[in-house]
């Protein structure tokens, strides 16, 4: 595989070839991070779902491997392999452990029309080779909702010493069905949580509140990153706050690494939307993952809110850093006068706009602007046909203590924006073939004070 095509994303995961969607089975196995993903081996459009596979030492540099899970046929039923999660069977609940190497277990939806079910595959060699448990027959039988029950999230619940599965079940209202197990193959119904907002790919994580490990809360979120915050007692989720929405734009179906070595909740989502890059840019793939972000919980006006923030490991990609502080830009000034060209960028800026001004960040092919009059932040975007446009990433984005804090990650096909330490974020594909390479940061219709700016130019994460 060659990742050097001029428009290939350089610090976001893409498959060498063909279609990807949801991240699946994200897990740390004691040595490496595993990222599985919905992959069509045959085309740059959705179909023939398998679990593709990649590994990384640091969540930034990825190596793609042969497919982990392929479609199969059992008892006369043919199906494909839909989304799910993976765990490390640290106490050998499944009883398949070889030597000292704990078994990796992947729970997925067997998409066999018309009645999907949940099944299990396991690996005794750290994720290299996989066996379908009981030849891929169900561990959780169809619950009566046909194809509308999928994407099992499985995790270990320490207080009750049980494995838990959270299964999205399509119903009006939507629901999350919880099961528990001690051996990973027999699952007992625990509770139903009825929620209108819940749609596909549930994830449930425990996070400290304001960094205090003695005070934890549980966050339950779906594919659109709607979430509620509360407690989970091993069987039932008890809500305390929400629903809220954490992220927006071309961001979908995220999950977090199970078994993270330091307990961090690091999330990767699928960036869906945009045009098929094969059709519009002659690239051999379709779809990329969002940049990995740490999730944390912070109290705002007595309410817990989720923040997402790019992982610190991005530092390994930094080539050069340019910093400014306390510069007031008047119309006509260009803060980046000395910069000729920008490619891969991680930019953090704290800026205080005058009431009528507009800050324009022209970062090569991607242009981002904040309009102080309307209090909107615009990102470059692209529609399904490849036409360039602009999108309002954040409305009602008001300065706090006079300024706005914004972080931007710019790759060849995408921009991700984070405001106020990741309290809100937005991911957007843009069309890199439109516009010029000009670089500038300017203030129009009034002045803007740049309290601080850090511009990191990055190099590729591919070898």
Residues at the site binding ligand FRU, with contacts judged by CB under 6 A:
21-22, 38, 49, 82-83, 109, 150-151, 200-201, 223, 253
d(CA 14, CA 432): 17
d(CA 54, CA 27): 11
d(CA 302, CA 210): 11
* 83 or 93: CB nearest ligand FRU: 83
Least Å from the CB of residue 34 to ligand FRU: 18
What string of DSSP letters covers 117-177?
Answer: EEEEEEESSTTSS-EEGGGG--SB---S-TTSEEEEEEEEETTTTEEEEEEEE--SSEEEE
Least Å from the CB of residue 150 to ligand FRU: 5
Least Å from the CB of residue 49 to ligand FRU: 5
Least Å from the CB of residue 109 to ligand FRU: 5
Least Å from the CB of residue 104 to ligand FRU: 20
Helix (H) / strand (E) element for 279: namely helix 277-281
Which residue, 371, 375, 365, is CA-closest to 429?
365
Under 8 Å CB-to-CB from 340, ≥6 apart: which residues? 439
Distances (CA, A) of 266 to 269, 433, 448: 10, 32, 34
| 314: helix, strand or coil | helix
Least Å from the CB of residue 388 to ligand FRU: 25
| 317: helix, strand or coil | helix
Least Å from the CB of residue 39 to ligand FRU: 9
d(CA 435, CA 443): 20
* 38 or 442: CB nearest ligand FRU: 38
**Maximal C-alpha separation, the chain:** 72
Asked whether the beta carbons of 254 and 295 are under 8 A apart, the reply is: no
* 287 or 353: CB nearest ligand FRU: 287
DSSP class of 116: -
* 48 or 101: CB nearest ligand FRU: 48
Q: Where are the beta strands (DSSP E) in 272-419?
A: 285-286, 288-289, 293-300, 303-310, 318-329, 345-353, 358-363, 366-371, 376-382, 388-394, 404-410, 414-419
* 114 or 213: CB nearest ligand FRU: 114
Any catalytic annotation for residue 22?
yes
Catalytic residue selected from 22, 89, 294, 371: 22
Q: Which residues pair with 208 in a beta bridge?
A: 216
* 20 or 105: CB nearest ligand FRU: 20
Q: Which residue has the tokens 């993270």?
A: 260
Active site residues: 22
């Amino acid at each position: 595989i060659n990742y050097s095509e001029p428009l290939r994303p350089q610090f976001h995961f893409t498959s060498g070839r063909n279609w990807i969607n949801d991240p699946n089975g994200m897990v740390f196995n004691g040595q490496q991070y595993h990222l599985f993903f919905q992959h069509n081996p045959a085309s740059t459009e959705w179909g023939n779902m398998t679990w593709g596979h990649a590994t990384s030492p640091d969540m930034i540099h990825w190596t793609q491997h042969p497919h982990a899970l392929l479609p199969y046929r059992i008892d006369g039923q043919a199906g494909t392999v839909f989304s799910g999660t993976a765990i490390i069977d640290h106490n050998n609940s499944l009883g398949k452990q070889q030597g000292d190497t704990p078994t990796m277990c992947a729970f997925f939806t067997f998409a066999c029309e018309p009645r999907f079910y949940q099944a299990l595959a396991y690996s005794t060699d750290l994720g290299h080779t996989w066996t379908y448990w009981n030849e891929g027959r169900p561990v959780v039988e169809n619950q009566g909702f046909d194809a509308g029950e999928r994407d099992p999230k499985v995790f270990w619940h320490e207080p009750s010493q049980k494995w838990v599965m959270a299964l999205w079940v399509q119903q009006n209202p939507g629901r999350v069905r919880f099961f528990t197990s001690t051996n990973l193959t027999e699952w007992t119904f625990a509770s139903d949580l009825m929620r209108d907002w819940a749609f596909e790919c549930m994830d449930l994580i425990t996070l400290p509140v304001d960094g205090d490990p003695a005070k934890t809360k549980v966050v339950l979120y779906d594919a659109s990153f709607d979430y509620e915050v509360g407690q989970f007692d091993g069987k039932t989720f008890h809500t305390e706050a929400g629903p809220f929405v954490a992220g927006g734009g071309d961001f979908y179906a995220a999950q977090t690494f199970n078994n993270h070595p330091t307990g961090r909740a690091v999330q990767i989502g699928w960036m869906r939307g945009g045009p098929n890059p094969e059709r519009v840019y002659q690239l051999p793939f379709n779809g990329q993952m969002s940049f990995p972000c740490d999730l944390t919980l912070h109290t705002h006006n007595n309410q817990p809110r989720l923040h997402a923030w790019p992982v610190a490991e991005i530092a390994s990609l930094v080539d050069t850093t340019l910093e400014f502080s306390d510069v007031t830009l008047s119309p006509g000034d260009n803060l980046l006068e000395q910069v000729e060209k920008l490619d891969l960028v991680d930019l953090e800026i704290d800026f205080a706009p005058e009431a009528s001004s507009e800050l324009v960040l022209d970062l090569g092919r991607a242009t981002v602007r904040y309009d102080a009059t309307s209090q909107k932040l615009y990102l470059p975007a692209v529609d399904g046909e490849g036409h360039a446009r602009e999108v309002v990433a954040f409305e009602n984005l008001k300065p706090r203590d006079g300024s706005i804090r914004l972080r931007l990650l710019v790759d060849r096909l995408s921009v991700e924006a984070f405001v106020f330490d990741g309290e809100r974020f937005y991911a957007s594909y843009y069309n890199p073939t439109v516009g010029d390479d000009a670089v500038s940061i300017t203030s129009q219709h009034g002045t803007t004070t740049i309290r601080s700016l850090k511009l990191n130019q990055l190099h590729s994460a591919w070898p």
